[in-house]
Amino acid sequence: MTASPPELRSALHEQFARIGKAVASPRRIELLELLCQGERSVDALARATGMTVTNVSQHLQALSAARLVARRRDGTRIYYRAADEQVCTFVTELGAVARTRLPEVERLAAEYIDGSDQLEPLTRAELLRRLRRGYTIVVDVRPTEEYKSAHIKGAASIPLDELARHLHELPRTKLIVAYCRGPYCVLAPQALALLRARGFRARRLEDGLPEWRAAGLPIAAGS
């Protein structure tokens, strides 16, 4: 007699699912985690995640529709932040559930941490062999100027600080070999960290460009 309310009840779950849908995308989860660390502008988020600005903006609209984020305007840019502390505990809780329920999460974490054999640099001879066979691309992560003056023949120029933006151009099927100035240059290792975190297969070339040139191997110049 009284409205036992299937429509009301499902209406509630409909609302719950709005929150669920908001965290149904890896990109949005990534954004939320960043926003839980502090407010950021749209393009700062784009740079940090390697997504296009348009895409970030759209995801932020989605998060905003679920009221999970708030925003503040400052001049021409708009800063987003997590709506409150509870949404941050919620996403960490989400991660915790994933950790305990999905065995591959632990596996991925472990793999990333002690992938020491993968951290072993590739020798120049090995790289040449792989290049002849294909399935391997070489990336120069030094600043553009250095690339222009000289680089390994066939290498692409993706400076470290632009790497995040160009991830979508990189193939997941091939091995990515990064190099920079020499054995003590930190650019390449940092690039590897980023690439591996995103699930790419990446190795470092032993030493750097000077040693490559010294070995008499093919180089090129210009852009």
| Per-residue mark of binding to DNA, 45-64 (x: CB under 7 A) | ------xxxxx-xxxxxx--
Least distance (Å) between residue 147 CB and a copy of itself: 16
Contacts of a copy of itself in 38-67 (CB under 8 A) = 47-48, 50, 66-67
Contacts of a copy of itself in 59-118 (CB under 8 A) = 66-68, 83-84, 86-87, 89-90, 93-98, 100-102, 104-105, 108-109, 111-112, 115-116
Phi and psi for 176 in degrees, rounded to 5?
-105, 125
184 touches a copy of itself by CB under 8 A: no
Contacts of DNA in 7-46 (CB under 7 A) = 21, 24-25, 27-28, 41-44
Q: Which does 154 bind (CB under 5 to 8 A by kind): a copy of itself, DNA, none?
A: none
125 touches DNA by CB under 7 A: no
180 as an active site residue: the answer is yes
206 touches DNA by CB under 7 A: no
Among the options 36, 88, 180, 185, which is catalytic? Answer: 180
Q: Candidates 2, 76, 173, 223: give the one binding a copy of itself (CB under 8 A).
A: 2
Q: Which residues are catalytic?
A: 180
